[in-house]
Amino acid sequence: MSSQDLEILKQSRELVARFMGLMRAAHLYDPGNDAILHAAGEILELATRIRGDGVDLEVKARHDSIYIGGERIRESAMGSSIYHGFIDVLRRAGLGSFTIDEDAQPSDLEDFSGLLIEALSGEPGSVDIAARLDVRGVRSIGVEKLDDEALLAREVDQEQIAKRVYLRSIGVVKNVFHSMRADGRVNSRLVKRVVQQMIEAVDHGHIQNLSSLKNYDEYTFNHSVNVSVLAIALGRHVGLSRRQLYVLGQAGMLHDLGKLCIPIEVLNKPGKLTPDELKVIQNHPIEGFVSIASKVGVFDDTIDVALGAFQHHINPDGTGYPEVARDSTPGFLSRIVSIADRYDAMTSARVYRKTPIPAWKALSIMYHRQGSQHDNALLRYFMNMLGAIPLGTTVRLSDGSVGIVVAGNPEPGLSHLPTVRLVLDASGQAIGKEVIDLASRAKGADCLTVEEAVDPARYGIEIMDYLL
């Protein structure tokens, strides 16, 4: 562990101790007392040093352990009474975790500690802290209820957690789009939190599977989450920093926010668009940029989120829309969003194309458009990441059975031998959920290989049933 990591751990332990100090002060003194505000100020300083700028700091209690910014703090490294006292406070208040945003003020923490004290004197979970913070206008402290967290903790299976994160993200996108439409507000905190969880899930390598889920009815919501997941995964694959992934995830989630300005009958028009309708559609990157810039604000970090919306239909050769000067080509993060966007759009069913393009075919189309429409290098990384046969692809095997690719083969040179979940046997009969690693069947008498990628609809296969 580097000396910098050790320093962060030390500060995290201090933060827990200071938090308990804040609780004591809030218990002893009246609101507004200097002792409370001083303790709160110290906690905020520590939080800034631990997380760096721009990212929320999550403080979590799970399985009798404390985690700060994703790192486990060991009980042995600090006093047991403080350690368990802290876990007990959260548990009795019905909380699994809370986050401190970068713009939190001492008075916000004071409000939070006051609510915790109130919660401790009642039944566990009797005070709805989230709602009360909201009423008080405290937006910089986010809380997660114990139920959700306990449920998450039970799902030791990381894949289950990834599914929950995916579904939660869809809820967040819906919420953001609906509130933007209703009162012109964008709750960027919700987006930030769920993007952090997505990055964690992508770290565990599961969530990419889920981006192959398609739900025709709610295309835009699914699409926004898929683009975000794919962009984070691609960004991680090319070695971007966590901070950049964080920006990228938000850019993916919000890239089509401008579509809210397109009348639904135009958006869902199955036939050919009139020139005027086309103009409205092609305006969505500008609308998206303006919405993000005006609602979320333009700061060092958010400018790339807004640019992701503005540039995601502009090609590296300067073609596409909106029209820009030929030499003002899209930035690096926008190019990533753009690849994720095209790939997901092609592989989804749309009003004007009921049958989605199979993943392998979409990649081949993109491959032929590299250079002009896609960044060459990034596209190579993308294809390499998805494997020769992308996850979620329905395949017919050499013995005639049909299955779904559920995992790629990480070995270079063996990407044509993925892991397949069998669905139908050679005679078309449904079979259980047998999973075969084709690499283990690459040779010998019972050799099994991928014959071709097929359209799942042709076999009546609902991919979602097998991945969710």
Task: State yes or no: residue 287 binds Fe ion (CB under 5 A).
Answer: no
Nearest CB to Fe ion, comparing residues 42 and 341? 341
Q: Which of residues 331-350 bind Fe ion (CB under 5 A)?
A: 341
Specify the DSSP class assigned to residue 347: T
Residue among 324, 320, 322, 256 nearest 283 (CA): 322
Nearest CB to Fe ion, comparing residues 6 and 365? 365
Give the phi and the psi of residue 423 in degrees, each rounded to 5: -120, -45
Nearest CB to Fe ion, comparing residues 111 and 341? 341
Q: Which of residues 230-259 bind Fe ion (CB under 5 A)?
A: 256
DSSP 115-184: HHHHHHTSSTT-S-HHHHHHHTT--SEEEEEHHHHHHHHH---HHHHHHHHHHHHHHHHHHHHHHHHHHS
Q: How far is the CB of 259 from Fe ion (least distance, A)?
A: 7
Q: Which of residues 395-454 bind Fe ion (CB under 5 A)?
A: none
Q: How far is the CB of 197 from Fe ion (least distance, A)?
A: 22
Angstrom distances, CA of residue 331 to CA of 86, 310, 336: 45, 11, 9
Q: How far is the CB of 173 from Fe ion (least distance, A)?
A: 12
Q: How far is the CB of 325 from Fe ion (least distance, A)?
A: 21
Q: How far is the CB of 416 from Fe ion (least distance, A)?
A: 30
Nearest CB to Fe ion, comparing residues 56 and 256? 256
Q: How far is the CB of 407 from Fe ion (least distance, A)?
A: 27
Q: How far is the CB of 252 from Fe ion (least distance, A)?
A: 9
Q: How many helices (H) and strands (E) does the chain have?
A: 19, 10
Residue among 335, 260, 269, 263 nearest 290 (CA): 260
Q: Which of residues 357-396 bind Fe ion (CB under 5 A)?
A: none
Q: CB under 8 Å to 40, separation ≥6 — which residues?
A: 22, 106, 107, 108, 109, 110, 113
Nearest CB to Fe ion, comparing residues 86 and 382? 382
Nearest CB to Fe ion, comparing residues 98 and 310? 310
CB 251 within 8 A of CB 296: no
Number of residues that bind Fe ion (CB under 5 A): 2
Nearest CB to Fe ion, comparing residues 139 and 350? 350
Angstrom distances, CA of residue 68 to CA of 17, 60, 92: 13, 6, 19
Specify the DSSP class assigned to residue 330: P
Q: How far is the CB of 320 from Fe ion (least distance, A)?
A: 10
DSSP, collapsed to helix, strand or coil, labels residue 300 as coil
Nearest CB to Fe ion, comparing residues 286 and 407? 286
Q: Which two tokens stand for residue 440?
A: 């283990």
Residues in contact with Fe ion, shown as a per-residue x/- string from 93 to 132 under the rule CB under 5 A: ----------------------------------------
Q: Which of residues 257-276 bind Fe ion (CB under 5 A)?
A: none
Which residue(s) pair with 405 in the sheet?
420
Give the residues lining the site for Fe ion (CB under 5 A): 256, 341
